[in-house]
Amino acid sequence: MKLHAAVALAGLSLIFAGLIPAAQAATGASCGASSGVTLKPGISMKPSGGTFASSSGGAIACVGVFKGTAVAGKGSLSFTGSYGPGDTCAKGKGSGKLSATLHKAAGGTLRAFGSFSFTRAGSDVIVTGKLGGARLSGNLQFLPKPSQNCFKTKVTSATVSGAALSLG
């Protein structure tokens, strides 16, 4: 009886596999990312809005499958966007564009472009968006330079990093 059920399920999965486009199930990767970021004019305790951009040397490291290709290893990441209005050191929101170069597990690279939005509460950042057509989501940390404490000195540069990004 169990064998018949297993054979029937296997048959159904083969039938339905042909009906679902491969691109829908072709991505599932876990990533970590880190980049410096500059903010203009910067954030303080006074609500504001402005622009941000990644510094050179931004990195993303993924393991899994992206657009049907196995990826593994460290690649590059860059992004730009805007924040506010109403952002302070305590909270914020914004959106932007990003590009990434991911390393293929078998050698070579894949280039992907996308867009994202974020909300920030203190140093905790929640990111959602799309990268190369795949869903992007995760949690990052926003860490201002030690000399920029927000009360006496406006935050104009920080590091954004985290190991909890997913593509899928």
| Domain limits, the chain | 23-167
63 vs 103: CA distance, rounded Å: 9
139-168: average pLDDT: 93
**Contacts of 11 by beta carbon, 8 Å cutoff, 6+ apart:** none
Helix (H, G, I), strand (E, B) or coil at 70: strand
pLDDT tens by residue, 85-130: 999 999 999 999 999 999 999 999 999 999 999 999 999 999 999 9
Higher pLDDT, 18 or 46: 46
